[in-house]
Amino acid sequence: MKALQLIGPSTFSYCDLERPVIGKDEVLVKVAACGICGSDIHGMDGSSGRRIPPLVMGHEGSGTIVEVGAGLEGWIEGDRVTFDSTVFCGECGYCQKGQINLCDARQVLGVSCQEFRRDGAFAEFVAVPARVLHRLPDGITFEEAAFAEPVGVALHAVNRVAPEKGDSAVVIGAGLIGLLVVQSLKRAGCAEVYAVDRDAGRLKLAEELGASAGWLADDEVAEKILAATEGKGVDIAMEVVGASPTVNLAVKSVRKGGKVGLVGNLAPEVTFPLQAAVTRELSIFGSCAIAGEYPEALDAIAKGEINVASLTSAVVPLKEGADWFARLASGKEPLLKVLLKP
């Protein structure tokens, strides 16, 4: 099969690899579309330690089942599917509680590190356990379905902070996930959602997708947030960057007793305004991946409740993947999501 394989730091080969052999509890999916994730961009140079070559990356995929493991029931050839990026065991204590994103034996498609290696979906075919499969609703395209993973990430983050109808919120970081969080907060019933970013174009898009206002991340942005909320602060602040300045801004932005959702993880460590969080009795929520939100994500996409078309920058052949990885890494173009098609 043809595949886009990472063979060295930021170096790819479009090559022929052996077609995966499936186990009895697995299916073989013919990949129709797979999105390039920000974690792929950040990891391909080796700095994260989670893309050790040689590796076929790609965990935001969709396609059609072409082979079913012996004795596996409930799935047949021809089923249109997407799949969880997290390969969970289904048996540990966390999985039994529904916290599959925290599975003790957790692996991630398209990731290789010291603990595990699992090829992903930047290839003609990918093998996945049937327990991570999700059937596509009628009418949803493979390109739309490839967004189920990032949409699920946004929905899980919003579900963690549990907005109440009429809440106000600010989303700090209007990249792809941030723009999906904006839409997810509106979908959850927030009356006012504000966006903060360094890119005016992304702020404009945030407003088109439902944000009440978009503000550039400058020295006055905290005051603008307070002014918009009569000096009290928002009910919810979602930090979708993962850096000290934006974490501090999130804490400054919320009212007493408010909630801060931590979604971004760009830096392994940040400074944290501990006294402000303690004395104002803030609730801090970390959010990791997805814990059962795939059906909700597919439904929201299919019903048009979350707009993914506006976030699609390009749909290109897999063989052009190396060039698009380089373009995304350069940051010189206003690209959000690039989908590769084998």
Q: Is 299 part of a structural domain of the chain? A: no
Q: What is the pLDDT of residues 184-218, one digit of tens each?
A: 999 999 999 999 999 999 999 999 999 999 999 99
Q: How confident is the model at residue 270 (pLDDT cuts 50, 70, 90)?
A: very high
pLDDT one-digit tens code per residue, 21-39? 999 999 999 999 999 999 9
Question: Do 143 and 17 sit in the same domain of this protein?
Answer: yes
pLDDT of residue 71 exceeding 90: no
Task: Give pLDDT tens digits for 100-141.
Answer: 999 999 999 999 999 999 999 999 999 999 999 999 999 899
Whether 176 and 247 share a structural domain: yes
What residues pair up with 317 in beta bridges, in sequence order?
A: 341
Is the same domain home to 198 and 246? yes
- Judge if 244 and 275 occupy the same domain: yes
Six token digits for residue 275: 């006294």
CA 263 centroid distance within chain? 10
Q: Per-residue pLDDT tens for 275-304?
A: 999 999 999 999 999 999 999 999 999 999
CATH at residue 95: 3.90.180.10
User: Exposed, middle or buried: residue 70 (CB in 10 Å: 0-12, 13-18, 19+)?
Assistant: exposed
How much is the average pLDDT of 145-168? 98
In a shared domain, residues 66 and 136: yes
Same-domain status, 256 and 334: no
CA–CA separation, 219 and 238 (whole Å)? 19
Please check whether residue 39 is in contact with residue 48, taking contact to mean a CB–CB distance below 8 angstroms: yes
Q: Is the pLDDT of residue 219 over 90?
A: no
Domain assignment of residue 245, yes or no: yes
- Nearest Cα neighbor of 145 from 2, 328, 294 is 294
- Tell me whether residue 167 is in a domain: yes
> Could you tell me if 324 and 265 lie in one domain?
no
Has residue 97 got a pLDDT over 90? yes
244 and 170 within one domain: yes
107 lies in which domain range? 2-147+308-341
> Is residue 312 located within the same domain as residue 212?
no
Residues 6+ apart with CB under 8 A from 301: 140, 144, 145, 147, 148, 151, 308
Q: Note the pLDDT tens digit of each residue in 238-250.
A: 999 999 999 999 9
Q: Are 180 and 243 within one domain?
A: yes
Please count the structural domains in the chain: 2
pLDDT reading at 231 higher than 90? yes
Contact indicator for 214, 178 with CB cutoff of 8 Å: no
pLDDT averaged over every residue in the chain: 97
Instruction: Name the CA radius of gyration of the chain, rounded.
Output: 20
Residue 262 lies in a domain: yes
Residues 256 and 313 in one domain: no
Q: Provide the H-helix boundaries in 210-337.
A: 221-228, 244-253, 274-279, 294-302, 321-330
Task: Output the pLDDT for position 272.
Answer: 97
